[in-house]
Amino acid sequence: MKPDVSIVIPAFHEEKCVAELHRRLSNVLAGLNCRYEILFVDDGSRDQTFQELARIAEHDPTVRALRLSRNFGHQAALAAGLAHAAGRAVISMDADLQHPPELIPVLLDRWREGYEVVYTVRRETADAGTRKKITSSLFYRLINFVSPVRITPGAADFRLLDRKAVDALLGMRERTLFLRGLIPWIGFKQIEVPFDAPERFAGATKYGYRKMLAFAINGILSLSTMPLRMAALFGGGVVGIGLAYGVYVVWTAITNPHALPGWASIILVLLLLGGAQIFFLGVIGEYLSRVFEEVKGRPLYIVAESIPREESPDEKRELD
Ligand code: UDP
Ligand code: MG
């Protein structure tokens, strides 16, 4: 029988967290009087995360685990989890206990009230330094400047999605899945639930500055073509200045018989045009690379193993 609720948890190098998370989750879920499954997605960890999960699944039939064939990144791991979750509602959360399982009953209450997307928003994050806070607030300002839909600052990847919303997301054909932008984009009845994020239970954050920058760039390019428009505007400005300067040069040449057309003006024009061309090329190249990704149509992830083992079509035929 299909579960009512699936909990989807991407985990990358979380060997010290998963057992404690499973304990606290089970405590909460057992008291809820609903059928549930806990679906871990091991995002290509090289530590003991998957062995830990296998051990947990041995004693608890509600636990399933997927191991991706390498580290595909948080968003891809989430997508894998959504695709394999069977519940009528799917809750995604981090493996490091920064998303308190004790909030789950609140999310489910909102769902039963009829909300199809219940997303949580961090009020306070215990271990976030000033630098992370500044970069995060900058990111949300920038992305909301370019985005056609509003993205709530501090919206976490801790959220409940109704089956309808999950199916809508899974129907997206794009390869760079930026869930924080797609969730507001898909619409449905949405509501936010605030919470305070504690420190991570063990281990270190997997989001260094490089990954955060890549995340921000992906988000902006997946949501908006405004950078292209900005390039066009900038190019227009450059042409305008060039024209004004051209008028000045011609005027000087006519009115001042001693005026020599100087190298300076030529070099200036060359610099302006050269700069604009390079800038355009950069912007166009950035989008071209996305088009390239889309055209290639590679799978978002490759599942190497799963618990319990999924029957392959051949095995099914043998059983018939
Ligand atoms: N994660 C993942 N793949 C990655 C990086 C992170 O599946 O490549 C998982 C990680 O195990 C955790 C969640 O994504 O469950 C959020 O990562 P983390 O806690 O490191 O991010 P932070 O809370 O510091 O932003
Ligand atoms: Mg975390």
Phi and psi dihedrals of 100, rounded to 5? -65, 125
- The minimum-distance atom of ligand 1 relative to the CA of 93 is 15
Q: What is the mean pLDDT of the chain?
A: 83
Task: Specify the pLDDT at position 267.
Answer: 67
Question: What distance in angstroms lies between residue 282's CA and the mean position of ligand 1's atoms?
Answer: 30
Residue 279 has pLDDT above 60, yes or no: yes
- The minimum-distance atom of ligand 1 relative to the CA of 205 is 20
Ligand 1 contact via 18 beta carbon (within 6 Å) = no
Ligand nearest to the CA of 95: 1
- The minimum-distance atom of ligand 1 relative to the CA of 95 is 15
Task: Specify the pLDDT at position 313.
Answer: 47
- Distance of alpha carbon 211 from alpha carbon 72, whole angstroms: 12
Question: What distance in angstroms lies between residue 241's CA and the mean position of ligand 2's atoms?
Answer: 49
| Ion ligand 2 nearby residues (CB, 5 A) | 94, 96, 98, 200
Nearest CA-CA partner of 14 in 142, 151, 167, 204: 204
Q: Percentage of the chain with pLDDT > 90?
A: 34
Q: Which of 12, 20, 205 to mutate to test the pocket of ligand 1 (most atoms within 8 A of CB)?
A: 12
Q: Which of 40, 74, 93, 300 to mutate to test the pocket of ligand 1 (most atoms within 8 A of CB)?
A: 74
Task: For 194-242, write each residue's pLDDT tens digit.
Answer: 988 888 888 888 777 788 888 888 888 777 767 767 777 777 777 777 7
Task: Specify the pLDDT at position 12.
Answer: 94
Ligand 1 contact via 251 beta carbon (within 6 Å) = no
Residue 18 has pLDDT above 50, yes or no: yes
Task: For 111-121, write each residue's pLDDT tens digit.
Answer: 999 899 999 99
What is the widest separation between alpha-carbon atoms in the chain? 98
Coil, helix or strand at residue 252: helix
Ligand nearest to the CA of 205: 1
Q: Structure tokens of 69?
A: 């064939």
Ligand 1 contact via 104 beta carbon (within 6 Å) = no
Ligand nearest to the CA of 14: 1
Ligand 1 contact via 197 beta carbon (within 6 Å) = no
Ligand 1 contact via 110 beta carbon (within 6 Å) = no
Q: Which residue shows structure tokens 């260094």?
A: 208
Burial of residue 315 (CB within 10 Å: 0-12, 13-18, 19+) is exposed
The continuous run of DSSP H or E covering 37 comes out as strand 36-42
DSSP character string of 259-316: ----HHHHHHHHHHHHHHHHHHHHHHHHHHHHHHHHHHT--S--EEEEESPPPPHHHH
Task: Specify the pLDDT at position 127.
Answer: 66
- The minimum-distance atom of ligand 1 relative to the CA of 78 is 7
Nearest CA-CA partner of 57 in 4, 5, 9, 2: 9
Q: Which of 34-38, 128-132, 256-260 has the highest mean pLDDT?
A: 34-38
- Distance of alpha carbon 310 from alpha carbon 86, whole angstroms: 14
Q: Which of 20-34, 120-134, 180-194, 285-299 has the highest mean pLDDT?
A: 20-34
- The minimum-distance atom of ligand 1 relative to the CA of 71 is 8
Residues 45-52 have a mean pLDDT of 93
- Distance of alpha carbon 275 from alpha carbon 260, whole angstroms: 25
Contact 120, 159 (CB under 8 A): yes
Q: Which residue shows structure tokens 């809750």?
A: 91
Residues 54-62 have a mean pLDDT of 92
C-beta neighbour count of 109 within 10 angstroms: 12
123 or 58: which carries more pLDDT confidence? 58
Task: Specify the pLDDT at position 118.
Answer: 94
Q: Structure tokens of 293?
A: 């990704």
Task: For 129-184, write each residue's pLDDT tens digit.
Answer: 787 778 888 888 888 888 878 888 888 889 999 998 898 888 777 767 788 888 88
